Each structure stands twice: as structure tokens, then as C-alpha cells.
A = this chain, B = another copy of it.
Amino acid sequence: MFSHDRIWSAIDALAERHQLSPSGLARRAGLDPTSFNKSKRHSADGRERWPSTESIAKVLDATGSTINQFMEFLRPEVRSSGMPEGAFPPQASTIPLLGFAQAGAGGFFDDGGFPAGQGWDVVEFPAGPDSRAGVYALEIQGDSMLPLYRDGDVLIVEPGAQIRRGDRVVVKTSEGEVMAKVLMRQTARSIELLSLNPEHPNRTFDMSEIEWIARIIWASQ
């Protein structure tokens, strides 16, 4: 998350961004040029040394950088080698939440339709911090999943998410077929999938035919 290593990397990245060495950056910020030496990032007994928030504030001020920019450097580098270039997993955030049935009552929206007033809950969107590993998107092609999913809709899929009956899932068979279905029933030996399109039949597979199954967590509208 937010580690000693990351914060020093961020300082190095900031220096590099401004064509400065670590000692040049320190000097620019009015600090001692040896402040950011690599040799001083651990103490003699091996303990991690953390730069102070005051030093960081001075550095940002001296380089005209924003907190945003520093935070970009502070983010973890993409870990998994399977993560495509430029992918950057969602961060948790919260947005106002209201029950649909309450939405018509007065006092929840301003004139422009924006949330206002008291009585709103909050909900995490996207999902909470434990549940974002490997999240990816699949774009719907064709009309075979109407009325639920239209051509061009994007499904957000989360491998490793817990799956229960009734969940909408993406399934890959060992024959290479990938399909979006509703999980009806799963046992140790077999899996029964309900089609999203009522015109298509339900499918039942032996579990040995299933390569993986992952839950759809969001669909674009």
C-alpha cells in the first residue's frame, strides 16, 4: 500500500521528472543535499528512515508539484506480469446510496437531480479493497445476450470473487468456449447454468469441463 520503498521511489521519480538528482532535489527544496541519499534511507542498524512530511511539502513547493502528481508516483507499480501495459486497478471510494423506493420522496435531490440533503447512505463503488485483484472488462459483441446485455456493453469481471447461486458469471470451458450465464447450481461434480437470453437453453457441464468461472460484478448501461 503505502510503504517506505514507495515513498522513496516517489521522491526519486519526482526528481527525475525535473531533471534533478536526489541531492539536487533536496538542494532545490532548501534541504541539505545529502538528505535523500540512498545511503541514508536505512539507518546503521537497518531501520527504515522515512522522509518527513515537512520535507515532502518543501519538495512539492520547490518543484511546483501538486499532491496529485506526487500521489501518482506513490502508487504501487503494477505487480502481476499478466497485467497489461497501462492497467491500473480501481481504488475504493464511496458514493451516496439511496433505496429506489425512496428516491421519489422530497429532499434527496436538488433541482438539477444531484444528491442533496440528509438521509443518504454511502456505498463503496467500485467494490471494497479486498476484492479488486485481477478485475477486467469484457465488451459484449452481438445481440445474443439481450435484453440484459446489449452490443457494446462492458462487463466488469472479477476472478476470485465469491460466487453464489443466482450470480451472473463468465465461464470458460476446456473446449475454449466463453459464455455469460447465471449460476443455477454447482456441486463438486457438475454445474448448471441458466442462459441470460430466455431463447437459449440452460446448460449443464461436468466440472472437469470447466476451466474457470468468474463473477460479473458490474455491467455498463
| A contact residues vs B (CB 8 Å cutoff) | 1-4, 7, 48, 50-54, 56-57, 60-61, 64, 66-69, 71, 74-75, 80-101, 103-106, 109-118, 120-123, 125-126, 129, 133-142, 147-148, 150, 154-156, 159-160, 166-168, 170, 172, 176-178, 180, 198, 211-221
Contact = CB atoms under 8 A, between A and B. Distances in A.
Given A92-B66, A101-B141, A2 B57 contact: yes
A159 B126 contact: no
B103 A221 contact: no
A125 to B, nearest CB: 6
B139 A99 contact: yes
What is the oligomeric copy number? Answer: 2
Contacts of A103: 138, 170, 172, 178
Contacts of A126: 90, 125-126
Given A84-B115, A90-B125, A109-B212, 13 more contacts: A2-B60, A67-B71, A68-B71, A68-B93, A84-B122, A95-B156, A98-B138, A103-B172, A113-B159, A123-B137, A147-B148, A156-B218, A217-B221
Nearest to A76: B67
Ordered nearest first, which 9 A-B pairs have the shortest CB separation? A113-B212, A82-B116, A84-B120, A103-B178, A114-B134, A104-B178, A50-B54, A96-B136, A113-B159
A145 to B, nearest CB: 9
B141 A99 contact: yes
15 contacts: A50-B53, A66-B91, A80-B114, A84-B120, A86-B122, A90-B90, A95-B156, A99-B139, A100-B140, A103-B138, A113-B211, A113-B212, A115-B136, A125-B154, A147-B148
B100 A212 contact: no
A87 B120 contact: yes
